[in-house]
């Protein structure tokens, strides 16, 4: 792994998945919201997706990927996970499980594989943007390639 390569980059490079990384000019010393990233990059917030680590009633973790301008539909995700309820995971626990810092958690290259769910709105774009694994780094990837790389599921999990 190159010195500045993230786990996401290494994972995609080794899997030979087409992708591109883009540095976004945002402060590197603090978390930046997905909407801040969209604004700083000039991207449509519907095309830039945020990665959320959630926990179920049974304390199982999963990854949810939804557009920056939408909120997670927790009830819909709970149905896919066959549980009563999902909540955002504790930040420190999410960092430990994924190997990424909060605000820069990528759905690709996590230390532990989690069930992953991508909102179906991603299919309206040829490529979408998700965190590249470092503050200010965005990963551009085709939705189907992201599904393959994460062994994920495409479903409706964003609130309208």
CATH number at residue 31: 3.90.960.10
pLDDT of 30 > 70? The answer is no
Domain encompassing residue 75 = 7-155
Structural domain includes residue 160: no
| pLDDT 10s digits, 94-136 | 999 999 999 899 999 999 999 999 999 999 999 999 999 998 8
Structural domain includes residue 1: no
Q: Which of 59, 135, 141, 82 is nearest to 104 (CA)?
A: 135
Structural domain includes residue 13: yes
Helix axis angle, 7-15 relative to 143-150, nearest 10°?
100
Name the strand (E) or helix (H) holding 141: strand 137-141
Res 36: pLDDT:
81
Buried b or exposed e, range 15-41, using 16+ CB within 10 angstroms = eeeebebeebebeeeeebebeebbbeb
Q: Is the pTM of this model over 0.85?
A: yes
Structural domain includes residue 79: yes
| pLDDT 10s digits, 64-78 | 999 999 999 999 999
Res 48: pLDDT:
97
Number of domains in the chain: 1
Given a contact cutoff of 8 angstroms between Cβ atoms, the answer to whether 109 and 6 are in contact is yes
């Amino acid at each position: 792994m190159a010195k500045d390569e993230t786990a996401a980059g290494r994972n995609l490079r080794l899997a030979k998945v087409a992708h591109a990384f883009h540095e976004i000019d945002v402060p590197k010393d603090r978390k930046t919201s997905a909407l801040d990233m969209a604004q700083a990059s000039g991207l449509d917030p519907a095309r830039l997706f945020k990665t959320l680590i959630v926990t179920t009633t049974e304390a199982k973790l999963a990854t949810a990927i939804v557009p920056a301008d939408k909120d997670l539909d927790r009830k819909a995700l709970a149905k896919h996970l066959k549980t009563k309820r999902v909540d955002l995971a504790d930040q420190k626990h999410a960092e430990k499980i994924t190997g990424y810092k909060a605000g820069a958690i990528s759905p690709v290259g996590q230390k532990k594989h989690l069930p992953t769910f991508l909102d179906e709105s991603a299919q309206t774009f040829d490529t979408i943007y998700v965190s590249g694994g470092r503050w200010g780094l965005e990963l551009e990837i085709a939705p189907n390639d992201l599904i393959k790389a994460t062994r994920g599921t495409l479903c409706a999990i964003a609130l309208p």
